[in-house]
């Protein structure tokens, strides 16, 4: 187990600090293994977002290794031994499902930069639990709407067999409305040849798949190699075609239809500022949606800390977070009744740039100001 | 019929990949008695070296050569630097040390290449697909992987059964102490076998790199299945690794491909999906349990 301690420096000249030292923020995220770049993006983006707000802060970063038990141990240590009251960072829903209830029991705040599992969005919602990214289903509902909008009637939907995978297929099917045949893959699976054969055999109008990180890279490569790319169109949500995936698969991603809540080509001030800060800080790394979500989460936490004047109590901080008093890089943003986002969704297409490398281009809005279906069950 | 043929080929291809990994692992385990958890790291090293060189030079074949060299070299260094000190220790020490090697090699790779996966493409001549049956196009590259795997299997068979070094390897797998007592330079044999095992794992990594994602930790995903192959095949038996590798590759692919739809005939769709996925991911471990029950030393156990 390695431990990364990342202390951000204060720019004293930029603002007169009202408090002695920065608030400690516990970042539990996935930094090792095949999905390591997801957590790295969230961590790096969050640091930039917090810096942009000018508040002093201290990030205590630890790697959960995508393991719920490890995540839980880290969370307990952070809350009980280090006295951290504000947690964030988790990439994967199965880790969130272990950590978030524990944080709620101990009276801490949790702000999610990525995972938004359905069991925590409805009846089990909590006043101390905020999700900046999305509720898992809604992310894939947009893909369902996009597939429906293109007139497809039958789909094969593939996702790994865990909470976020189930949310993905449920969300896609809900908006797609057509006939969906499901294939669940292994969480560690990297060879999808068997699934490719099944897709060919079922000959659907469209393929929907949810495979974040390295799995998505393997899936897209093999989709092309099996001759399905170009034969059966693919519609996916943003975790399956992030900038790192596009860079790693090259031409195998061309033509993929995606849905997203933010794209690198968004024309707004907050997004432009983020891109400038990112390329200055990490010129060699492409900015993905994970980095963007980390950044937005950093903006939200920073805005709340600014409002309460630093080391305040949990109640004040909760109230400040709830106001969502920040300008999101994605444009419209508000918290719904379950403190999950109400936001817009966009359709994108992966096309070749001048050098022939794939890039994602935003084509237009597909859903406007939507929350999620579980919000109605949430009584706070 | 078409689907069945395609899935059989997929199973075969997964099987030969498992064989390439298991052949080295079973020899290391059988001859030196070392449990090498870090074997997957050689697979990763091969994939990274091959992809990086392929990106720099634009040549898949240059990458292949680099992948083999780097993984073999790391294997030799690891044997001389670490494993050599562990032969006399018990398995717990070996597990601890080789687990540490996984962490060191993984983080070392992060330091050199970062956490972003590498792009790796395949050679132009293998990038298309051929129609092996009417209505069944199959990627040429996967056929190439199968051919390479079978060729290596044949080569290993000749090496082990027809050469002097193979004789020593067989003797070592059967009775280590006796080989040592007969005055064979056992240290050199150990280093050679370990390097060869690492090189084969590296080859598996090179072959897999255009198919899967070349990233840190890629070896950890496949090493568990490799150990299952070693246990089913019988520790120390390359023949066992071959048979068990193909068996497992086929069984795993077939279960994943057909079990959910078979179950769907007797129960409702979503439940059949969930149950089928669950059972098929357990499949290879169930097979291992059954084999251990009937033949506790594996299918082709070396005596000793």
Q: Look at residue A277 and tell me whether its pLDDT is greater than 60.
A: yes
So what's the pLDDT on residue B3? Answer: 86
Cross-chain residue pair A37–B116, CB shorter than 8 Å:
yes
Distance from CA of B178 to the nearest CA of A (A): 41
Residue B46 at interface with chain A, using a CB cutoff of 8 Å: no
Closest CA to A350 of A368, A365, A363: A363
Q: Look at residue A231 and tell me whether its pLDDT is greater than 50.
A: yes
Residues 91-120 of B with CB under 8 A from A: 103, 106-107, 110, 114-119
User: Which one of A3, A29, A36, A45 would you mutate to disrupt binding with B, by most B Cβ within 10 Å of its Cβ?
Assistant: A36
Beta carbons within 8 Å of A190's beta carbon, 6+ residues apart: A214, A215, A218, B212, B213, B218, B221, B222
Contacts of A244 in chain B (CB under 8 A): 116-117
Distance from CA of B106 to the nearest CA of A (A): 8
| pLDDT, mean of residues A317-342 | 95
- Mean of all residue pLDDT scores within chain A: 90
Mean pLDDT lowest for which of B71-85, B145-159, B164-178? Answer: B164-178
Percent of chain B with pLDDT over 90: 55
Q: Give me the residue label for tokens 């393997």.
A: A218
Contacts of B118 in chain A (CB under 8 A): 248
More confident residue, A207 or B3: A207
Distance (Å) of CA A251 to CA A217, A284, A360, B59, B196:
12, 20, 12, 18, 35
Q: Give me the residue label for tokens 């590498």.
A: B118
Instruction: Report d(CA A181, CA A158) in Å as an integer.
Output: 9
So what's the pLDDT on residue A11? Answer: 33
So what's the pLDDT on residue B261? Answer: 81
Closest CA to B216 of B78, B122, B114: B114
Residues 254-283 of B with CB under 8 A from A: 256-257, 260, 269-270, 273-274, 277-278, 281
| pLDDT, mean of residues A48-54 | 95
Residues 200-219 of B with CB under 8 A from A: 210-218
Q: Helix, strand, coil proportions of chain B in percent (round to 5)? A: 75, 5, 20
3-state secondary structure of A121: coil
Cross-chain residue pair B129–A227, CB shorter than 8 Å:
yes
Contacts of B107 in chain A (CB under 8 A): 2
How many Cα atoms occupy the beta-carbon half-sphere of B7 within 13 Å?
A: 21
Nearest Cβ partner for A218 among B2, B139, B211: B211
| pLDDT, mean of residues A240-244 | 91
Cross-chain residue pair B212–A191, CB shorter than 8 Å:
yes
So what's the pLDDT on residue B245? Answer: 96
Distance from CA of B296 to the nearest CA of A (A): 28
Residue-wise pLDDT for A148-198, tens only, equals: 999 999 999 999 988 889 999 999 999 999 999 999 998 878 889 889 999
Distance from CA of B242 to the nearest CA of A (A): 20
Q: Give me the residue label for tokens 């079978």.
A: B150
Distance (Å) of CA A46 to CA A61, A289, B207:
11, 12, 37
- Mean of all residue pLDDT scores within chain B: 90
How many Cα atoms occupy the beta-carbon half-sphere of A154 within 13 Å?
A: 7
So what's the pLDDT on residue A1? Answer: 38
Cross-chain residue pair A227–B137, CB shorter than 8 Å:
yes
More confident residue, A103 or B180: A103
Instruction: Report d(CA A348, CA A360) in Å as an integer.
Output: 6
Nearest Cβ partner for A194 among B213, B215, B256: B256
Q: Look at residue B183 and tell me whether its pLDDT is greater than 90.
A: no
| pLDDT, mean of residues A66-83 | 94
Q: Look at residue B184 and tell me whether its pLDDT is greater than 90.
A: no
Q: Look at residue B41 and tell me whether its pLDDT is greater than 80.
A: yes
Q: Where are the domains of chain A?
A: 3-134+266-331, 137-260+344-377
Q: Are A339 and A129 in contact (CB under 8 A)?
A: yes
Distance from CA of B273 to the nearest CA of A (A): 7
Distance from CA of A27 to the nearest CA of B (A): 18
Per CATH, the homologous superfamily of domain A3-134+266-331 is: Response regulator (3.40.50.2300)
Distance (Å) of CA B23 to CA A377, B16, B30:
55, 10, 10
Cross-chain residue pair B213–A248, CB shorter than 8 Å:
yes
Q: Look at residue A10 and tell me whether its pLDDT is greater than 70.
A: no
Instruction: Report d(CA B3, CA B8) in Å as an integer.
Output: 9
Nearest Cβ partner for A225 among B2, B139, B213: B139
Q: Are B197 and B75 in contact (CB under 8 A)?
A: yes
Distance from CA of A138 to the nearest CA of B (A): 21
Nearest Cβ partner for A248 among B119, B217, B277: B119
Nearest Cβ partner for A34 among B14, B122, B215: B215
So what's the pLDDT on residue A158? Answer: 96
So what's the pLDDT on residue A372? Answer: 93
| pLDDT, mean of residues A306-331 | 90
Q: Are A333 and A324 in contact (CB under 8 A)?
A: yes
Distance from CA of B176 to the nearest CA of A (A): 36
| pLDDT, mean of residues A216-237 | 92
So what's the pLDDT on residue A208? Answer: 97
Q: Which fold has domain A137-260+344-377?
A: Rossmann fold (3.40.50)
Cross-chain residue pair A226–B139, CB shorter than 8 Å:
yes
pLDDT band at B304 (very low <50, low <70, confident <90, very high): very low
Cross-chain residue pair A197–B6, CB shorter than 8 Å:
yes
Cross-chain residue pair A248–B118, CB shorter than 8 Å:
yes
Q: How many residues does chain B have?
A: 304
Q: Are B222 and B121 in contact (CB under 8 A)?
A: no
Cross-chain residue pair A33–B281, CB shorter than 8 Å:
no
Instruction: Report d(CA B213, CA B200) in Å as an integer.
Output: 19
| pLDDT, mean of residues A262-287 | 94
Q: Could you name the CATH architecture of B2-118+137-294?
A: Orthogonal Bundle (1.10)
- Contacting B with CB below 8 Å, chain A residues are 2, 31-34, 36-37, 40, 161, 182-186, 188, 190-191, 193-195, 197-198, 200-201, 213-215, 217-218, 221-222, 225-227, 244, 247-250, 284-286
Q: What is the pTM of this model?
A: 0.85
Mean pLDDT lowest for which of A213-227, B137-151, B270-284? Answer: B270-284
The single-letter DSSP state of residue A331 is B
More confident residue, A68 or A13: A68
């Amino acid at each position: 187990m390695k431990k990364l301690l990342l202390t951000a420096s204060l720019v004293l000249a930029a603002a007169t600090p009202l408090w002695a030292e920065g608030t400690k923020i516990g970042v539990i995220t996935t930094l090792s293994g095949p999905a390591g770049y997801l957590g790295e993006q969230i961590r790096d983006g969050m640091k930039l977002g917090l810096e942009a707000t000018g508040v002093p802060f201290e990030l205590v970063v630890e790697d959960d290794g995508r393991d719920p038990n490890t995540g839980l141990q880290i969370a307990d240590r952070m809350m009980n031994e280090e006295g951290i009251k504000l947690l964030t960072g988790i990439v994967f829903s199965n880790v969130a499902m272990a950590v978030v209830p524990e944080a709620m029991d101990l009276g801490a705040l949790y702000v999610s930069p990525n995972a938004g599992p359905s069991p925590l969005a409805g009846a089990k919602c909590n006043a101390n639990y905020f999700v900046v990214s999305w509720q898992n289903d809604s992310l894939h509902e947009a893909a369902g709407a996009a597939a429906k909008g293109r007139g497809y009637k039958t789909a094969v939907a593939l996702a790994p067999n865990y909470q976020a995978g189930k949310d993905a297929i449920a969300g896609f099917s809900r908006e797609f409305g057509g006939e969906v045949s499901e294939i669940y893959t292994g969480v560690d699976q990297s060879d999808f040849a068997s699934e490719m054969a099944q897709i060919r055999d079922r000959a659907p109008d469209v393929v929907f798949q949810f495979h974040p990180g390295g799995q998505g890279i393997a899936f897209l490569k093999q989709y092309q190699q099996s001759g399905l790319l170009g034969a059966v169109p693919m519609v996916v949500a943003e975790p399956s075609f992030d900038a790192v995936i596009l860079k790693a698969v090259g031409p195998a991603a061309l033509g993929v239809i995606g849905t997203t809540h933010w794209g690198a080509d968004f024309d707004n001030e907050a997004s432009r500022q983020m891109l400038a800060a990112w390329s200055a800080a990490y010129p060699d790394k492409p900015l993905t949606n994970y980095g963007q979500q980390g950044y937005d989460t950093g903006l939200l936490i920073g805005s709340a800390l600014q409002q309460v004047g630093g080391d305040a109590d949990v109640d004040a901080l909760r109230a400040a977070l709830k106001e969502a008093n920040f300008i999101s890089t994605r444009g419209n943003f508000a918290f719904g009744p379950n403190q999950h986002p109400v936001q817009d969704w966009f359709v994108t297409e992966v096309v070749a740039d001048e050098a022939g490398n794939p890039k994602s281009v935003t084509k237009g809005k597909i859903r406007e100001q939507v929350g999620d279906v579980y919000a109605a069950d949430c009584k706070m | 019929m078409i689907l069945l043929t395609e899935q059989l080929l997929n199973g075969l291809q997964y099987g030969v990949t498992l064989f390439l990994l298991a052949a080295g692992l079973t020899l290391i385990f059988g001859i030196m008695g070392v449990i090498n958890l870090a074997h997957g790291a050689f697979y990763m090293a091969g994939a990274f070296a091959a992809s990086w060189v392929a990106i720099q030079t634009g040549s898949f074949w240059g990458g292949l050569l680099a992948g083999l060299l780097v993984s073999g070299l790391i294997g030799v260094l690891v044997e001389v630097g670490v494993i050599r000190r562990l032969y006399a220790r018990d398995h717990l020490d070996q597990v601890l040390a080789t687990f540490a090697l996984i962490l060191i090699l993984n983080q070392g790779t992060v330091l050199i290449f970062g956490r972003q996966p590498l792009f790796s493409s395949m050679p132009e001549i293998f990038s298309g697909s051929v129609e092996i049956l009417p209505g069944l196009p199959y990627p040429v590259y996967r056929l190439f992987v199968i051919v390479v795997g079978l060729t290596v299997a044949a080569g290993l068979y000749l090496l082990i059964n027809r050469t002097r070094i193979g004789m020593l390897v067989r003797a070592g797998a059967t009775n280590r102490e006796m080989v040592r007592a007969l005055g064979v330079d056992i240290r050199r044999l150990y280093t050679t076998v370990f390097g060869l095992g690492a090189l084969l794992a590296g080859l598996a990594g090179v072959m897999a790199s255009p198919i899967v994602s070349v990233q840190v930790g890629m070896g950890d995903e496949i090493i568990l299945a490799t150990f299952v192959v070693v246990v089913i095949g019988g520790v120390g038996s390359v023949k066992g690794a071959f048979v068990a590798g193909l068996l497992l590759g086929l069984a795993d692919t077939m279960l994943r491909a057909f079990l959910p739809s078979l179950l769907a005939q007797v129960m409702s769709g979503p439940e059949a999906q969930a149950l089928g996925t669950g059972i098929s991911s357990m499949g290879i471990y169930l097979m291992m349990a059954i084999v251990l029950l009937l033949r506790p030393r594996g299918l082709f156990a070396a005596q000793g």
